């Protein structure tokens, strides 16, 4: 699988991978790049079906998405990296920590869905809707979940990113999310984990993230106040110091 990625920071610095949300590209990490790339080789990638990565026909599985990242590490000849992921990207991080523990140095999982298999129908319905009508059919609702109404920045670039997402890639990743259950392997994770959730996340409610902290050995939990789902984008002033402290 050919994954698109953008690398910034010193070529010989420790590598940090950045995994994005459903419907987003690596460009969503712009608010983190300056802070992280002073100390790290930052590799922000597009999941399969997203951005400039390949778009094979779906459905995809979390094994596909996680396996793609292992393949990317192999291609980059990186033995071990830290990983920061949000939303679907956070789920991929939890998968990597369970299935490729020797490749993950430290993990930050932000607002990660972990047991959507318990209620798969909304994701199956969303996949069908996007295959039939395109990502424009879900763009307004998505922006409403990603940001609180008082977030004043221009959201057009984010809307454009969603509209540009290949419909098949978006739908196929919804199907991966619909079958997701990462709970059984949490107790076996050995990498140091920082979990981040927010008080107003309607996509992946905090009640589904907080309990993960007592399942993952030694995990640290942070709850960001007055923030919705795409907290890396809306609150870099809060998130970036948390990332730097955990990755150090």
Contacts to ligand LWBT4IAB by CB under 6 A:
21-22, 87-88, 113, 142, 145, 177, 203-204, 229
Comparison of 26 and 142: residue with beta carbon closer to ligand LWBT4IAB: 142
By beta-carbon proximity to ligand LWBT4IAB, the closer residue of 16 and 209 is 209
From the list 246, 244, 245, the residue with the least C-alpha distance to 9 is 244
Q: Which H helix or E strand runs over 42?
A: strand 41-45
Residue 25, C-beta contacts closer than 8 angstroms, at least 6 positions apart = 46, 50, 51, 52, 161, 164, 165
Beta bridge partners of 7: 43
Structure tokens at 104: 């993950």
Q: Which is nearer to ligand LWBT4IAB, 19 or 67 (CB)?
A: 19
The CB-of-13 to ligand LWBT4IAB minimum distance in angstroms stands at: 28
102: exposed, middle or buried (Cβ count in 10 Å: 0-12, 13-18, 19+):
exposed
| CB 22, min distance to ligand LWBT4IAB, A | 3
41-45 and 104-110 as β-strands: parallel, antiparallel, unpaired?
unpaired
Residue with Cβ nearer ligand LWBT4IAB (186 or 228): 228
Instruction: Report in angstroms how near the CB of residue 79 gets to ligand LWBT4IAB at its nearest.
Output: 28
Q: Which is nearer to ligand LWBT4IAB, 128 or 245 (CB)?
A: 128
Residue 27: CB minimum distance to ligand LWBT4IAB, A: 15
């Amino acid at each position: 699988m050919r994954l698109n990625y953008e690398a910034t920071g010193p070529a010989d610095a420790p590598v940090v991978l950045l995994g994005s949300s459903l419907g987003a590209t690596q460009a969503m990490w712009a608010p983190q790049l300056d802070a992280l790339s002073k100390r790290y080789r930052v590799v922000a990638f597009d999941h399969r079906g997203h951005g400039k990565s390949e778009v094979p026909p779906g459905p995809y599985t979390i094994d596909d998405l996680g396996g793609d990242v292992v393949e990317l590490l192999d291609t980059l000849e990186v033995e071990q990296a830290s990983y920061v992921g949000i939303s679907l990207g956070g789920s991929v991080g939890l998968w990597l920590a369970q299935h490729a523990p020797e490749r993950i140095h430290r993990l930050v999982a932000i607002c990660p869905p972990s047991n959507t298999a318990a209620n798969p129908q909304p994701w199956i319905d969303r996949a069908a809707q996007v295959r039939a009508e395109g990502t424009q059919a879900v763009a307004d609702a998505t922006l409403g979940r990603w940001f609180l109404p008082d977030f004043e920045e221009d959201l057009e670039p984010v809307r454009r990113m969603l509209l540009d997402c290949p419909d098949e890639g978006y739908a196929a990743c919804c199907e991966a999310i619909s079958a997701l259950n990462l709970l059984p392997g949490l107790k076996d994770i050995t990498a140091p984990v920082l979990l981040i959730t927010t008080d107003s996340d309607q996509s992946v409610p905090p009640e589904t993230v907080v309990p993960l902290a007592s399942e993952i050995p030694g995990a640290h939990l942070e709850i960001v106040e007055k923030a919705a789902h795409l907290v890396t984008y809306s609150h870099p002033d809060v998130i970036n110091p948390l990332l730097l402290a955990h990755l150090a």
